[in-house]
């Protein structure tokens, strides 16, 4: 069910972002992967559930964004399998009613462009709020269906582009409202603030060659060129998004690795690493603090899979030894030590 959740927490307003901060925040998760084997599946879904619930309790965000690939097999699952996955998602990512949860579609949810269809998109949008523009306390977030940014004029792609153009007009008129009141017509102006883009596929970049940090792609993979419309959006789609929406920040998932890229006139894009142990030994998410004109982001690391497994295995080994000593199938280590000491003294 959960393939590649990239999770990102964004806290709003003037508070300093940090992984120990409390209240008034938004949580952004990247990919949530679901492995095939039952044991791995249970282990990693447990990891995501505990991580998410702990982050909610500790950081108390106001908004949570998940950057797509919520369902591993959403692109081909039957109606029944889809319903089961949705139920498990809602259990794992349960949250209080006052917390806003917004999710963008990934290729594992609705398929790549050549696999998606209206039925899969509608099925996804029935579960997750389909609104592309989300204004929250003076801050505009645009949730892009990047799977539909193929640019080939297909019905779904044309509809997605028309929606974004409409949002672009709304944002423009709001920013001009100050000088030309009444321009926004009946719709009413949005907050006059440049938007934050949230999407599954990253904007076009040649590769991850310039990315650095512990959770960037492994050095051997960084130089591999990205494929447009598969690893990243096409150049054309990326230009359109930057031109139409003029964002101040872009947050994306899909690659499972961290990276920071500057586009055009200095627009920062942050690739949020996977939220799941399936894709990374060291998953993480992002906590941000936003005002209408500024933002601060902090990366919040989660427990490493190898550390947790080593701790559990060590604890289990201790428990076995203590049990064997208790039932006298094993000599007490204290006795063994004492006997050795006595032997050493007498020789």
- What residues line the site for Zn ion (CB under 5 A)? 69, 106-107, 254
Whole-number minimum distance, CB 4 to Zn ion, in Å? 6
Which C-beta is closer to Zn ion: that of 254 or that of 257?
A: 254
Whole-number minimum distance, CB 297 to Zn ion, in Å? 21
Q: Which residues contact 203 (CB under 8 A, 6 or more apart)?
A: 232, 233, 238, 241, 242, 250, 252, 261, 263, 269
Which C-beta is closer to Zn ion: that of 140 or that of 146?
A: 146
CB distance 263 to 241 below 8 Å? no
Which C-beta is closer to Zn ion: that of 28 or that of 56?
A: 28
CB distance 250 to 269 below 8 Å? yes
Which C-beta is closer to Zn ion: that of 127 or that of 139?
A: 127
Whole-number minimum distance, CB 25 to Zn ion, in Å? 25
Whole-number minimum distance, CB 275 to Zn ion, in Å? 13
Whole-number minimum distance, CB 250 to Zn ion, in Å? 16
Length of the chain: 347
Instruction: Report the alpha-carbon distance of residue 342 to residue 12 in Å, rounded.
Output: 67
13: left (phi over 0), alpha (psi -120 to 50) or beta: left
Which C-beta is closer to Zn ion: that of 123 or that of 248?
A: 123
Instruction: Report the alpha-carbon distance of residue 79 to residue 70 in Å, rounded.
Output: 16
Q: What Cα–Cα distance (Å) separates residue 2 from each residue in 78, 144, 181?
A: 16, 20, 47
Neighbouring C-alpha atoms within 13 Å toward the C-beta of 191: 17
Whole-number minimum distance, CB 321 to Zn ion, in Å? 45
Which C-beta is closer to Zn ion: that of 107 or that of 238?
A: 107
């Amino acid at each position: 069910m959960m393939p590649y959740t990239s999770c990102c927490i964004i806290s709003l307003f003037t508070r300093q972002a940090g992984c120990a901060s409390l209240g008034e925040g938004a949580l952004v998760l990247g990919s949530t992967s679901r492995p095939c084997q039952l044991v791995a599946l249970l282990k990693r879904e447990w990891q995501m559930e505990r991580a998410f619930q702990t982050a909610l309790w500790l950081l108390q965000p106001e908004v949570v964004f998940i950057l797509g690939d919520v369902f591993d097999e959403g692109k081909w699952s039957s109606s029944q399998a889809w319903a089961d996955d949705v139920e498990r998602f809602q259990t794992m990512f349960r949250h209080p009613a006052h917390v806003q949860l917004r999710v963008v579609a990934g290729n594992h949810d609705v398929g790549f462009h050549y696999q998606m269809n209206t039925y899969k998109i509608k099925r996804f949008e029935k579960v997750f709020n389909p609104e592309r523009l989300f204004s929250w306390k003076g801050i505009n977030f645009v949730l892009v269906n990047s799977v539909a940014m193929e640019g080939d004029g297909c019905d779904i792609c044309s509809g997605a582009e028309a929606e974004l153009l409409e949002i672009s007009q709304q944002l423009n008129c709001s920013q001009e409202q100050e000088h030309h009141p009444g321009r926004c017509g009946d719709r009413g102006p949005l907050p006059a603030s440049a938007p934050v883009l949230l999407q599954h596929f990253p904007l076009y970049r040649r590769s991850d060659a310039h990315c650095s940090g512990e959770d960037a792609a492994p050095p051997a993979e960084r130089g591999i060129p990205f494929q447009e419309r598969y690893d990243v959006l096409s150049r054309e789609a990326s230009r359109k998004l930057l031109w139409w929406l003029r964002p101040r920040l872009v947050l994306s998932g899909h690659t499972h690795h961290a990276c920071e890229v500057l586009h055009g006139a200095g627009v920062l894009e942050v690739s949020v690493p996977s939220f799941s142990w399936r894709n990374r030994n060291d998953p993480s998410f992002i906590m941000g603090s936003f005002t209408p004109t500024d933002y601060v982001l902090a990366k919040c690391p989660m427990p490493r899979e190898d550390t947790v497994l080593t701790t559990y295995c060590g604890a289990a080994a201790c428990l076995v030894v203590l049990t064997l000593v208790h039932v006298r199938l094993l000599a007490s280590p204290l006795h063994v030590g004492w006997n050795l000491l006595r032997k050493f003294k007498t020789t």
